Structure 1
Amino acid sequence: MLSAINHAGQVITLATLTREEIKRLKQDDFFCPDCNEKLIIKAGKINIPHFSHQAESACPSNQGGEGTYHETGKMKLYNWLKQQGNQVQLEVYFESIKQRADLFLEWKKRQIPIEYQCVRLPVASVIDRQRGYQKLELPSIWILGTKLLKRFGPLHIRMDTFTRHFIHQLHPRHPSTLYYFDPNALLFTTVSDIHLTQQTRALAKIRYLPLHRASFIDIFQNKRFTKEELLYLWREEKRQFRLRPRYRLTGRERKWQEWLYHHHLHVEHLPSIIYLPVYSSYLMKIPLEEWQSYIYVKILRPLPVGGTFSLNTCIHQLQSMRYSHSDYPLLVMPQEPIQQYLNLLVKLGYLKRINSHIYRKMKEILPTRHIEDSLQEDKKLIDILKQKLRKPK
């Protein structure tokens, strides 16, 4: 903890003081702003000077401490914001929600709690804290420690359930983005325009921004893939999906494949409309290919050409497979992944949208006979989608 309260009610931040000033303060008493317990001053030669609870303390802010990496990063971010002329405070406590923000920024008449998260927590705790700021109608920003970022080459990252809940979308026109900061390298990493390719793997634009070159607004200037870029990359993703070895299946994959067999289908022969890129697929609990195949088998395949169905029917069928939008408070206006998928099928001519919720099936959607046919059909479909999306509305 970097800040504490003295007997006079003043907030004292040790890291902003000289060694001599800290030495004089050791005669005084300081208290936790959360629980009012007495704190210990720790000011060695290696770590940032800070306050600490007694080991047996039950204060919530003393649980799951994040250590030197977190304290250093928090202080670096504080100084970085301060040097830009921003009004920023360390460790502000909000009594009404019983939460303490790492930083509290006033920027362009907005009040913004900023959390620097460096350790893994239960997802429920993350959601509760994000909803706390939502109750106060404060837009919070969550920056992750870069040690939590796992990359697979220049365009792929690990995307587990924990990480998903830190995805921001600050405006409907902005790309989905994760923010990371490394206090040792003094480097921001932003991961934007996130598309799940597997349940724990995502394709994204990864950008590096040195702290000394960045202003606060700079870290939010992230771009999407162009449609051509995304579809060029997705063609390879789709090829790998078809050819992925499946002799060592997890319980979930095995169950899905058994379900396909029950419906006389096989992964290698699935219609090419399955495993298409959907921007907000991180709002689904199951992999891309699974929920898209459910829509095909349960809704589209039994429907005659010319028949209609509603978006709500699809949502109802997949209700247990979707996250609640309320679990993602960092998304300004969460998109509906099922609707995005159906709109792709409209672009491809398989469906026609009658109104915002009703669709008509325009032609049959058939499985392929051989893997070679599947690969050829996949390529053809991606090329058609590329042409359709290039055309003006």
Structure 2
Amino acid sequence: MFTASLADGTLINLLQNNYSKEVLERLRNNDSFFCPDCKSPVMLKLGERKIHHFAHYQSANCSIGHEPETADHMAGKKLLYDWLCQQKLNPQVEHYISSIKQRADVFVEWKGWKIAFEYQCSTISPSLLNSRTTSYVQAGYTPVWILSHKKANFKSFSKFQWSFICDFINKHGVLLSLDTNMKSLYVTRPTPIATKQVISSQKRLQLSSTTSLTTCQRVISEVQPIITYKQWLSIKNKNRSMIFRFIDKKKYALFQNLYLAHIPPPCFPVEAGWPVRAMHWIEQPCYMWQLWILLDNIIQKKSDLIFLNDILKNFYKRVQMNHISLRTLPLVKHSKPEDAIEHYVQLLIEVGVLEEAGDYSYKIVRELLYPSHENEALDCDVKMARELIAHT
């Protein structure tokens, strides 16, 4: 950590003043240092490889800062602090909030917002992430969680990485990551194409005096997905041709239901397997959960009228049966899993399968398209992609 108190209560911030090593050595020889939070003694470390910092003794019992701090974490805090100082925003490093017993890595007040920057280098559970976020919000702070760039993989998202998707500026959800070597903030918007695999669009912001918080806010809000319908057709064709690979329990259950409906899995309806907003809430590839919606509400439906409430009930029934899995996204506050279902229903209206019959009720107006072989499936998918493009 970069802050400590002297015996007389004076707060020392190693980042605030450009202390030379000689000055710090004299300070260490003549004074004692204490943790601002737990008040236990701390040591001043003046190493050659790490940034000068304070650290607790092993016997300390501090719930806030007892864990050893990595060089990457210290470098990230310093980078954020220095960048905000360049904008003359008067940031505070390791800002302690007594009401929630949490310490923000870097705190700043900006345009009426109390922003708590958290630079995360180690793995934490989504439940802990959610708990800390909730505490910040209840205390009137806006938490901004930034993942270490070293922990990020932009082609394959782990559950840990998904838990850092946030939508406080970009309502579609983005991942913020910090590269301390390049002194850059990366804004990544992932489009899931499988349980882990994603296609990411990304913007890089150099954290310099010319890059303001306003610029960051604008760039984050403007990041758009890079995937095209041409790319998606390739993904969908791959889903059909490789559908029998890696059959797990969820896929096996889906296949059973398809066979009961006399549908060979590679020839699943053309209307399944299209990207929709908020689908990042669902772990399975979109063709799988969309097939469940078609099976439960259209293919096996005896009447031609369906209701959104029933569609959602059937969806969550599949979740309870472990046929569909939802992601835990503690930082996503402006969408929910039901949004993906509603957007898919809207897609079915756009391609002419459904039409609105009243408040949240829909009439089935045409049958689904069932290709009989792979080439026909590709032709039908191309036609439907053109139809969807016409509605965008």
TM-score range, shorter chain: 0.7 to 0.9
1:61 match: secondary structure: coil
Structure 1, unpaired ranges of 5+: 152-156
Q: Do the aligned residues in 1 keep the contact of 2:203 with 2:223 (CA within 8 Å)?
A: no
* Gap change, CA 1:233 and 1:224, over 3 Å in 2: farther
Query: C-alpha separation between the residues in 2 aligned to 1:112 and 1:225?
Result: 25
Secondary structure of residue in 2 paired with 1:292: helix
Code of the residue aligned with 2:130 in structure 1: it is I
Residues 30, 262 of structure 1: alpha-carbon distance in 2 compared, 3 angstrom cutoff: farther
* Separation in 1, partners of 2:212, 2:126: 30
> Which letter does structure 2 place at the counterpart of 1:219?
C
Inter-partner Cα distance in structure 2 for 1:329 and 1:178: 10
Aligned-pair distance for 1:337? 1.1
Q: Name the residue aligned to 2:52.
A: 49
What SS does the corresponding residue of 1:185 show, helix, strand or coil? Answer: coil
The answer to whether structure 1 residue 359 and structure 2 residue 362 are counterparts is yes
CA–CA distance in 2 between the matches of 1:254 and 1:169? 34
SS of 2:142 mapped into structure 1: coil
The answer on 1:150 being equivalent to 2:153 is yes
| Equivalent pair of 1:281/1:337 in contact (CA under 8 Å) | yes
Asked if 1:373 corresponds to 2:376, the answer is yes
Residues of 1 paired with 2:301 and 2:129: CA distance? 42
Assess if the C-alpha contact under 8 Å between 1:190 and 1:219 holds in 2: no
Distance in 2 (alpha carbons) for counterparts of 1:86 and 1:11: 20
Residue 12 (str. 1) matches residue 12 (str. 2): yes
Provide the residue aligned with 1:242 in structure 2. 240
| Paired residues for 1:191-340 under 5 Å | 191-192=188-189, 194-212=190-208, 214-220=211-217, 221-222=219-220, 223-225=222-224, 230-244=228-242, 246-304=244-302, 306-310=304-308, 312-319=309-316, 320=319, 321=324, 323=326, 328-334=330-336, 336-340=339-343
Amino acid across the alignment from 2:177 = Y
> Which range is displaced more, 289-298 or 364-373?
364-373
Matched with 1:154 is none
Partners of 2:340 and 2:69 in 1: how far apart?
A: 35
Distance 1:305 1:282, change over 3 A: same
Please point out which of 104, 114, 120 is paired with 1:101: 104
Question: In 1, Cα distance between the equivalents of 2:92 and 2:109?
Answer: 9
**Alignment partner, residue 344 of structure 2:** 341
Structure 2: how far apart are the matches of 1:272 and 1:128? Answer: 42
Task: Please point out which of 177, 180, 184 is paired with 1:180.
Answer: 177
The alpha-carbon deviation at position 59 of structure 1 amounts to: 2.8
Q: CA deviation at 1:364?
A: 1.4
1:233–1:191 distance in 2 versus 1, CA, 3 Å: same
**Does structure 2 conserve the Cα–Cα contact (< 8 Å) formed by 1:305 and 1:364?**
no
C-alpha change, 1:285 and 1:237, in structure 2 (3 Å) is: closer
Change (3 A) 1:182 1:356: farther
Pairwise CA distance, 1:243: 2.4
The answer (yes or no) to whether the contact 1:305–1:363 under 8 Å persists in 2 is no
**Maintained 8 Å contact 1:15/1:48:** no
Secondary structure of the equivalent of 1:275?
coil
Q: CA deviation at 1:66?
A: 4.6
Residue 5 of structure 1 and its aligned partner are, at CA, apart by: 2.7
What secondary structure does 1:39 align onto?
Answer: strand
Equivalent in the alignment of 1:89:
92
Contiguous gaps of at least 5 residues in structure 2? none
What is the RMSD of the two structures over their aligned residues, measured on CA atoms? 2.6
Q: What amino acid is the match of 2:277?
A: Y
Describe the SS at the equivalent of 2:370: coil
TM superposition shift of 1:178: 1.0
Distance 1:275 1:281 in 2: 11
How far apart, CA to CA, are the structure 2 residues paired with 1:245 and 1:309?
30
Instruction: Assess if the C-alpha contact under 8 Å between 2:94 and 2:107 holds in 1.
Output: yes
- Aligned to 1:60, the other structure's residue is in SS state coil
User: Which has the larger displacement, 58-67 or 208-217?
Assistant: 58-67
The CA deviation at 1:34 is 3.5
Identity, % of aligned pairs?
25
Cα distance, 1:351–1:254 mapped onto 2, change above 3 Å: same
Contact 2:353 2:365 survives alignment (8 Å): yes
State the Cα deviation string for residues 212-246 of structure 1 (Å, max 9, x = none). Answer: 3532232331435489x632332222222222364
Q: How does 1:111-122 map to 2 (within 5 A)?
A: 111-122=114-125
Q: How far apart are residue 98 of structure 1 and its match?
A: 1.9
Match of 1:35?
A: 38
SS at match of 2:269: coil
Instruction: Indicate which of 79, 83, 96 corresponds to 1:76.
Output: 79
Residue in 2 that maps onto 1:21: 23
